[in-house]
Structure 1
Amino acid sequence: MGDLADMGDTGFFWPDSMMWRVNREVTTLFGGARALLLQAAHPLIAAGARQTGAYRRDPWARLIRTITLQSQLTFGTKRSAGEVADRINRLHAVINGVDEVTGEWYDALDYDQLLWVHAALEVSVLDFYRLTIGELTEDEQEQYHQENLTAADLLLLPRSYVPATFRQLSEYVDDVIGSGRLMRTDVADEVSHLIVSGAVPRRIKPVWAFVSLAAVGTLDPRVRNLYGLSWSPARTRVLQGNLAAMRAAMPLAPRRLRTISPARWAEALLGT
């Protein structure tokens, strides 16, 4: 195989991008579990999941689709990222109806719903980078935010609909949490059960106890209370100890353990 430039499709990002720097880390994937909890707490997003029976039929599919898109967007070709996004968009195109809980119309292509999904993932990924790898400056977070607008493009969310800065995106997430818009539904309970005590794929079992602890422990307390998830000062101390140990260990970890395989493949092709 030649390098990416020889293939004629160099992808959206290069190793000097913040998308590459952040998304290559295995531990930032852990943020996906917390993002699922945030997303499922939105009743209209929950309504779409209820329509498809997604969490009952294949509880890990949504998280896998999200991770696949993020990895292809960052490390793959534009074509491969577009193909993954197209599959997601086709799935979303038929998810709509009247929510049986709120009586509101839901639509998986609705901009408000797309924005909540986008924002929940972005803030969770950056939080988990800071918690497990190291701090990011405001400029670095802002660069990631601007680069991640490409994900919004691919999933049919207009850039103009996304808060202009990372600070504003974080404020938007806080505002939604404080607005009373989120609620505990049957779907939210399915997701929390999945994260806290559900059946876990064999390949992630060794780390899932930590992922679950971190997903619940780093949730905004208002969302944690909404779910009825118990927490305590003792669990906070355990989590903080685990995170401190991880931040100390990750710089020393072998590359194959620290970075996801799509990043290693792309870096090998580029000779970096």
Structure 2
Amino acid sequence: MAPHTVTPHRDHGFFAPDSVTRRVWGYPTTPLVGIQRATVIEELDPNLIAAVHDTGDNYSRLDTRYARTVQYFASVAFADAQTVLKLADVLVKIHSKAIGHEPVGGGRYDANDPDSQLWILITGWHSVLKAYEMFGPGKLTDYEERQYWAECAIAAEFQTCDPADVPRSREEVRAYFADWRPRLAASEAAQQMMDHLLDGVNAVVPRTGVLRLVRPVANRTLRHATIATMPRHMRDLAGVRQGRVTDLLVTCWFRSVMAVVARSSGLQRYILRTLSPRTLAVVEPHWRGIPPENPVVLTPEQARHQWGYVRPREAHLELRARQAQRVFGEGIAPSDEGLIESQAVLGRLA
């Protein structure tokens, strides 16, 4: 892509160009292992797997869902403030459709539930950091890590969870996952989904051209690399087996590969264009050092006031109530409201 074709953002959004968030999320481990790890581990939440399993979308159009996931997270880190607010607003409407009865515990699931949203947020940010530490430059300093989690709390402003609930240090992150451990469960559906996501390259990477030849090797490498980042108890729940020798070998090999990719802007663009084409325009201005039209960093409160958005947990309450009435009151499927609108923001569904 030629430099003159890159469109500057309106502003810096919510993170400065030299922020820890942009450094970590901008490293090539993010779309390759970080996001894949997050989507795999998330399935250990019984409520989340119920929502995902009921739609079947991860099986029928994993490439689209993965591309949208990468685009959303990248937008929070790199896009301008108005774009992020619009994405957050649309996602609340999309998630209003993901409600129903959870078959394992017998309760109800709701994708907009604050606990579920916090689980997705923390799992995503932790997975990206874990991949960065294992296969990238290494661990952050204590100060940088606290800054990273403070910035994660800013990202929580764009989901229905409470930013005050975001852990602020490595110790608090460990405590968060320890508290969640008794709630994790791996049904047959969860294990099947996790195995499918670990083989995500086979579904996401095109089957044509030279990529057809590298798909099997890339899939096997990323599968082993992602498993190497997972704690043993999560591997046991998922029903995946991988020895310590394999962990060590794939860590050394993939770290060297990522060091090469990190030095090549062409390779990074190629990877991102392959996995999530619309995300390239989000990250490209940062990569090229192209300043935004208005070089300011906004707070979520300032941005909401400027563009008239409410906090996600307060958004579209009437729609969410109507969807709940349809599903739990009338026993019929929720409406598709929000899905059509999302295509203008996140691209076509198929």
TM range (shorter): 0.7 to 0.9
The count of corresponding residues between Structure 1 and Structure 2 is 267
Over aligned residues, Cα RMSD in angstroms? 2.6
Deviations 1:192-226 (A, max 9, x none): 22313773322583633322111112111111011
Q: What CA distance in whole angstroms lies between the structure 2 residues aligned with 1:197 and 1:125?
A: 17
Could you say which residue in structure 2 is the equivalent of 1:170?
174
> Which residue does 1:225 correspond to in 2?
236
The one-letter code matched in structure 2 to 1:145 is: W
Post-superposition CA distance 1:39-88 (Å, at most 9, x none):
01111111111232222332244432321112112221111122222222
Q: Using the alignment, how far apart are the partners of 2:148 and 2:13 within structure 1?
A: 16
Given that 1:55 and 1:191 are in contact with CA atoms closer than 8 Å, whether structure 2 keeps it comes out as no
The two structures have a TM-score, normalised by structure 2, of: 0.69
Summarize the Cα distance change of 1:162–1:62 in structure 2 as closer, same or farther, 3 Å threshold.
Answer: farther
Determine the structure 1 residue equivalent to 2:264. 254
TM-score (norm 1): 0.86
| Counterparts of residues 75-114 of structure 1 (less than 5 Å) | 75-114=78-117
Report deviation, 1:180.
5.0
> Which residue is equivalent to 2:12?
10
Question: 1:133, 1:40 → 2: CA distance?
Answer: 25
1:220 and 1:93 map into 2 onto residues whose CA distance is: 32
Q: Is 1:263 aligned to residue 283 of structure 2?
A: yes
Deviation of the 1:244 alpha carbon: 4.2
In structure 1, stretches of 5+ residues that fail to align are none
Q: 2:160 corresponds to which residue?
A: 156
Bigger Cα Rg: 2
Tell me the amino acid that sits aligned with residue 48 of structure 2: I
**Preserved contact between residue 4 and residue 10 of structure 1 (Cα < 8 Å):** no
Secondary structure, in 3 states, of the residue corresponding to 1:65?
helix
Query: Where does 1:1-272 land on structure 2 (aligned, <5 Å)?
Result: 7=10, 9-29=11-31, 30-135=33-138, 136-177=140-181, 179=182, 181-196=184-199, 199-202=202-205, 205=215, 207-246=218-257, 248-249=259-260, 253-258=263-268, 261=280, 262-266=282-286, 267-270=288-291
Aligned partners of 1:247 and 1:198: how far apart in 2? Answer: 17
Percent identity over paired residues: 22
Cα separation, 2, equivalents of 1:38 and 1:153: 22
Q: Distance in 2 between matches of 1:189 and 1:198?
A: 16
Instruction: Compute the displacement of 1:4 (Å).
Output: 5.2
Distance in 1 separating the partners of 2:168 and 2:248: 36
* Deviations, residues 68-123 of structure 1 (Å, cap 9, x unaligned): 11211222111112222222211111211211222021111111111111111111
Which residues of structure 2 form unaligned runs of 5+?
A: 273-279, 293-350
* 8 Å Cα contact 2:45-2:183 kept in structure 1: no
Q: Which residue of 1 aligns with 2:334?
A: none
Q: Deviations over 1:218-240 (max 9, x none)?
A: 11111101111121233123213
Alpha-carbon distance between aligned partners in 1 of 2:245 and 2:289, rounded to the nearest angstrom: 43
CA distance in 1, matches of 2:67, 2:258: 25
Deviation at 1:191, TM superposition (A): 3.0
Query: What is the rounded CA distance, in whole Å, between the counterparts of 1:224 and 1:72 in structure 2?
Result: 30
- 8 A contact 2:62–2:204 mirrored in 1: no
Contact 2:201 2:219 in 1 (8 A): no
The answer to whether the 8 A contact 2:47-2:109 is kept is yes
* Residue in structure 1 matched with residue 296 of structure 2 by the alignment: none
CA distance in 2: counterparts of 1:180 and 1:48, whole angstroms: 16
By how many angstroms is 1:140 displaced? 1.0
The 3 A distance-change label for structure 1 pair 217 and 165 is: closer
Q: AA paired with 1:151?
A: A
